[in-house]
Amino acid sequence: MNDQSHLLLRSIKGPLIMITVGVLFAADRFTDYRFGETWPVLLIVVGLLQLLGGRRRRADYYPPPAPPPPPFAPSPTQSYPPVVQQTHDETEEPRS
């Protein structure tokens, strides 16, 4: 099934179900058939629409991103520069 027919089926699914419900209620009112006898027709219509539509992944679906790494945990390939301790030299005059 190509994209055009899939979009068409998707766009008529709701109206087709509503029309089926309306026809079943009209049959309940104007014929000898009661809704309690005809409601399986609604299940058949929904099932046919699902069968025609198939199981297809949405085009705008993106899988969720990977979780972020825990905070302050270095990666195994990450290296840090060596820590240099600075001392204050008392012979040095303060800068102004």
Query: Domain for residue 72, yes or no?
Result: no
Rounded CA-CA distance 13/24 in Å is 17
- Check: CB of residue 52 under 8 Å from CB of residue 10: no
Structure tokens at 90: 């008392």
Query: Domain for residue 58, yes or no?
Result: no
* Residue 77, pLDDT score: 66
Domain that holds residue 21: 3-53
Query: Domain for residue 85, yes or no?
Result: no
Number of structural domains the chain divides into: 1
Query: Domain for residue 21, yes or no?
Result: yes
Tens of pLDDT, residues 11-26: 888 899 999 999 999 9
Tens of pLDDT, residues 38-93: 899 999 999 998 888 776 666 667 778 888 877 765 566 666 666 666 666 556 56
Query: Domain for residue 33, yes or no?
Result: yes
Query: Domain for residue 75, yes or no?
Result: no
Query: Domain for residue 93, yes or no?
Result: no
Query: Domain for residue 59, yes or no?
Result: no
* Residue 1, pLDDT score: 63
Tens of pLDDT, residues 73-84: 556 666 666 666
